Structure 1
Amino acid sequence: MNTFKKLLVKKEFIFFIAFATILVLLHATPSMALRTQVFIMGYPKAALTSPIVEDAYHNKVDEEKFAELNAKAYTLTHPPIEKATQGELSNFLVRKFGFFYAAEYYGDT
């Protein structure tokens, strides 16, 4: 029984390490964090195929705000269309937390 518990703990530890590694890899760069967010939002095709560019307009207009947030705006050049409103989901804000990036939808402003 003792060996079974050790084996179970070892498997749980390996699972946790694998999960943490995948999470870090999916958020290691701004583009990967953005693609992960779009995928989680339910648009896997756009997440895998749409080119990503820096949003020069929003980065210039909101420069001070983004500096405080340690963030940059990015745009999907072939954005997905939201099912409910038929709006394009093109602009995203990517924030940096140490070596970790997190993306969120910024809107079509």
Structure 2
Amino acid sequence: MKNRRTWIPLTVLVLAIYILHSTPHMSLRTFVFFSGYPIKAITSGIIDDRYHNEMDNKDYEKLNAKAYTLTDPPVEKQTQGVLSNYLVRKYGIIYITDYLGDT
């Protein structure tokens, strides 16, 4: 009985993490959501960041990564910086997102 109490929540947690990071777009939306911008995570469109993908093509191939841009990005409250560009890397069967910057 104690085994079930341990395995069921653990299985649910692993499944939730997999679902939230199963595609590049889901990983990006999850990252923006947990960065404090839940509305923008849901409503903003996602497009390929052609500039970064072409300029850093060789580096991104080594990292197994691709850059994406939000069409309606969040604005950081303190600096008023636009948080539009993100780098999504593939690790095994999941995708991990990092903020890339505005340049």
In the alignment of these two chains, the number of paired residues is 103
Give the TM-score normalised by structure 2. 0.97
Distance 2:42 2:50 in 1: 22
Distance 1:41 1:54 in 2: 21
Q: How does 1:72-87 map to 2 (within 5 A)?
A: 72-87=66-81
Partner of residue 96, structure 1: 90
Distance 2:63 2:79 in 1: 29
SS at match of 1:101: strand
> In percent, how many aligned pairs have the same letter?
50
Distance 2:33 2:2 in 1: 32
1:71 aligns with 2:65: yes
Partner of residue 108, structure 1: 102
Distance 2:80 2:66 in 1: 25
1:57 aligns with 2:57: no
- Deviation string 1:12-67 (CA, Å, 9 cap, x unpaired) is 21000000000000000000000000011000001011000010110000001101
Match of 1:21 among 15, 19, 22: 15
1:37 aligns with 2:13: no
Amino acid at match of 2:80: Q
Distance 2:43 2:12 in 1: 26
Q: Which has the larger radius of gyration?
A: 1
TM superposition shift of 1:11: 1.5
Give the TM-score normalised by structure 1. 0.92
Distance 1:12 1:85 in 2: 44
1:47 aligns with 2:41: yes
Which stretches of structure 1, 4 residues or more, deviate above 6 A after TM superposition?
Answer: none
